[in-house]
Homo-oligomer: A and B are copies of this chain.
Amino acid sequence: MKSMRVAIVGASGYSGEELLRLLLRHPHVEIACVTSRQYAGKPLTEVHRQFEGWPKAKGVIFSGSEISEITASGAEVVFLALPHGLAAEFAAPLIKAGLVVIDLSADFRVADVSVVEEFSGQQHPAPELLKDAVYGMPELHRDQIRSAKLVASPGCYPTSIILPLVPLLRAGIISPERIVVNSMSGVSGAGRKADVSLLYAECNEDARAYSLPKHRHLMEIEQELSFAHGAQVNIAFHPHLIPVNRGILTTIHAELKAGYSQVEATFEDAYGKEPFVRLLGDGLFPELKQVVRSNFLDIAWRHDKRTNSVVLLSAEDNLVKGAAGQAIHSLNLIANWPEKSGLI
């Protein structure tokens, strides 16, 4: 199988590090360049010591983040693991230079620029690219991803929420109204930043809700749910921080419009052949420990007869299925490799 050269821009944060962990073991990928303003000139294994001794990490040096350095590296695909807002500045020149961009930020996930600007309170830096961006969720947009020039790889919470809801909304089994979503995320989701509220002694033995009731991830969640339903869907979303390094656990309450008995078949139809969605049925519970460091999303469901509702439960690794792994899944589609390449 033909191998491909790829670049990672912004490889010092948790998502960038996870991209490296996966790409350094990917059988068909060659690392063309890794960039970091902070670490330019340093060996990769000095910054991320855990990769010392990995064959593909040998000799890799961080370069600066100039567009010319990236294009000169021979990369065909570039992953952007940058803060929201910054990614948009990189995408335009890189696409113009003929590279395929897989962006892990939120910059291109929402097609409606007015929604983006409402939530962010800022002007979008590259609105002209929005129309070409493909929301990089292979289970929903596989064919578009194959030919995309700009993949907007989904956020961690959205992945854990959209995938359980979309098949039931599409099939009209649940009501699009009054959906209540509770999620809890590991602390790596907040990024590697020097912030007192993220210190070990502040997060350990603690748990808290935050960014309620209008978390910026609502934009892309509701976009995809509305698309599935065929009309605008608004949900309630309650994110929480819990003391684990990795993982998102989501519990969703949705009212039944059709019989509960159709839930299982609907999920089987939607995801029975998906390589990275595991259907646990209505007997088991998803757990973080079953999914961390993997690209799987586990989904289970229960019938709450007392409220005529279905409870949907999902678990994923926020840095893999919720970030780096899903992005590489898109790469596998673009490169026409087997979808599990480098992801098991």
Chain A residues in the interface with B (C-beta under 8 A): 14, 25, 49-50, 52-55, 178, 180, 182, 184, 186-188, 192-196, 198-210, 212-214, 234-236, 238, 240, 242-247, 249, 251, 253, 255, 275-276, 278, 284-294, 296, 302-307, 309, 311, 313, 315, 340, 344
Known: A184-B240, A311-B213. A14 touches B201 (CB 8 A): yes
Give the distance in Å from the alpha carbon of A305 to the alpha carbon of B218 in the complex: 14
Whether B50 pairs with A294 at a CB distance below 8 angstroms is yes
Known: A234-B307, A311-B213. A49 touches B249 (CB 8 A): no
Which of B214, B245, B278 contacts A204 (CB under 8 A)? B245
Whether A287 pairs with B208 at a CB distance below 8 angstroms is yes
Whether B344 pairs with A54 at a CB distance below 8 angstroms is yes
Whether A184 pairs with B204 at a CB distance below 8 angstroms is no
Q: Which residues of B contact A240 (CB under 8 A)?
A: 184, 249, 251
Whether A284 pairs with B49 at a CB distance below 8 angstroms is yes
Q: A205-B244, A234-B306 are in contact. List 15 more A-B contacts (CB 8 A).
A: A25-B344, A49-B290, A180-B253, A186-B201, A192-B196, A194-B194, A198-B200, A200-B203, A200-B243, A204-B245, A206-B244, A208-B285, A209-B286, A213-B306, A243-B244
Whether A196 pairs with B196 at a CB distance below 8 angstroms is no
30 contacts between A and B (CB under 8 A): A49-B284, A50-B290, A52-B278, A53-B276, A178-B178, A178-B255, A178-B307, A180-B180, A187-B204, A192-B202, A193-B196, A193-B199, A195-B199, A198-B200, A200-B204, A201-B245, A207-B244, A207-B247, A207-B287, A209-B313, A213-B303, A213-B307, A214-B304, A236-B253, A236-B304, A236-B307, A236-B309, A238-B253, A238-B311, A242-B244
Q: Which residues of B contact A296 (CB under 8 A)?
A: 52-53
Which of B209, B253, B344 contacts A285 (CB under 8 A)? B209
Protomer copies: 4
Residue of B whose beta carbon sits closest to that of A24: B344
Q: Give the Cβ gap from A165 to chain B, nearest Cβ, in Å.
A: 15
Q: Which residues of B contact A311 (CB under 8 A)?
A: 212-213, 236, 238
Give the distance in Å from the alpha carbon of A18 to the alpha carbon of B205 in the complex: 17
Q: Give the Cβ gap from A218 to chain B, nearest Cβ, in Å.
A: 8
Q: Give the Cβ gap from A254 to chain B, nearest Cβ, in Å.
A: 10
Known: A184-B184, A205-B244, A244-B206. A194 touches B196 (CB 8 A): yes
Known: A178-B178, A276-B53. A242 touches B245 (CB 8 A): no
Known: A55-B340, A240-B184. A208 touches B50 (CB 8 A): no
Most buried by B among A245, A275, A284, A289: A289
Whether B242 pairs with A53 at a CB distance below 8 angstroms is no
Q: Give the Cβ gap from A11 to chain B, nearest Cβ, in Å.
A: 16
Whether B251 pairs with A238 at a CB distance below 8 angstroms is yes
Give the distance in Å from the alpha carbon of A294 to the alpha carbon of B51 in the complex: 10
Most buried by B among A180, A203, A246: A180
Q: Which residues of B contact A307 (CB under 8 A)?
A: 178, 213, 234-236
